[in-house]
Amino acid sequence: MGIKPSCQKIEEERTVFLTKENEVYRIPSLFYDRDNKIFMAFAEQRSTADDADAKQLVMKTGTLKMEESTGVRTIEWSELKVVKEAHLKGHRPMNPCPVYEKTSKTLFLFFICVKDGITESWQIKKGHNKTRLCYITTKDGGQTWNSGADWLHHHDIKKRKWATFAVGPGHGIQTESGRLIIPTYAYASCSTSYCCISRKHYVPHALTLYSDDKGRNWHFSRMLKTESLECEMAELSDDHIYCNARSKGDNRVEAIDKGAGFETVPSAGKLVETGGGCQGSVVSFPAVSEGATSDSSPNKWLLYTHPSDQCKRIALGVYLNKTPQDPNGWSKPWIINSGPSGYLDLAYIGDGWFACLMESGVHKETEQIKCEVFHYSQVENGIAGKEIVFN
């Protein structure tokens, strides 16, 4: 069912970044800080919707509030702030992707910086990487950031000789064992990839950037064997990592790492890819027992969001999987935005509550980035086809 806001005021409060003349907001990323109970929303500010016109990264912080009379839950957002530290001269910052290290209470904001005037397609055609991997950190909810870190000369990137690469966009995760994981994809030549058409042909594959020492040192994992692009990861039980990636085919790419690297799971055809492809988001959360939500459950379920139409970026769907290692376990989608819908990011708040930061609009998905807050019970009812009013 589509969104049925209780009033226009509530609908306006859902807007986080609103596109204006010569000011377009794209590529949302969402993080919820459980320690301080605040949201951090990131996006690219562009002069047009085109990737080559990205200018800077911006952010807002938010707190969850509830209207006592109606029970409607919304997020109260701060004023927009430019993340000035996410900057590299002569480059445009793109693809915000945060990950939180719980022990040191440090938020790492990863992003890429692409040389001005250079497109992704140019890099792929020429096989000449003009992208840098960067990150900044904060310990006070984004009030202050450290100086940026530039990984241009990191040996791991140089020796791989990728045509180009990117992190996220979306969010990273920290596993129960403490490993930090940033979703990544890269265009590798067929001589170093899993195909063999020609040395000058570059193919994208998802992989992870990870750290086992609280962010002091970072490494790249092996690539998925299947062609795959923008991705997100979620931790399942037994330290298994689930990957959901954009594809160039009819269905999403799903893979699971049980400790020996990602292995692609055969598609059940339940998670369709939108024509031309689109980024999607996935989170794991504690399994629900007899209708009650408890964050103490050791078992994990998956929630996934993505435009559900196979041709256009419309009809944003929420999918549920109670058997995460089985691609047949995915439910049909609950449609939370029936109109134009694009890139998005999910966050699990706790106690069965979720937030989804999404590109949406009336005529095109680049009109605004808004945020919906919903409960697991609404997901169940929505999947069952029951009338849902957001609260």
**How many other C-beta atoms can be found within 10 angstroms of the C-beta atom of residue 364?**
14
Considering 25, 187, 319, 343, which one is annotated as catalytic?
343
d(CA 204, CA 201): 10
280 burial type by CB count under 10 A (0-12 exposed, 13-18 middle, 19+ buried): buried
CB 169 within 8 A of CB 96: yes
- Chain length of the chain: 391
The one-character DSSP state at 9 is: H
The one-character DSSP state at 366 is: G
Considering 11, 33, 51, 380, which one is annotated as catalytic?
51
202 tagged catalytic: no
23 tagged catalytic: no
CB 337 within 8 A of CB 318: no
d(CA 249, CA 269): 11
The one-character DSSP state at 327 is: G
Q: Residue 214: what are its φ and ψ, rounded to 5°?
A: 65, 30
d(CA 262, CA 245): 12
239 tagged catalytic: no
| C-alpha 61 chain-centroid distance | 17
d(CA 38, CA 347): 12
Q: Locate 180 and state its tokens.
A: 């930090």
Considering 44, 232, 359, 367, which one is annotated as catalytic?
359
Q: Annotated active-site positions, please? A: 51, 343, 359
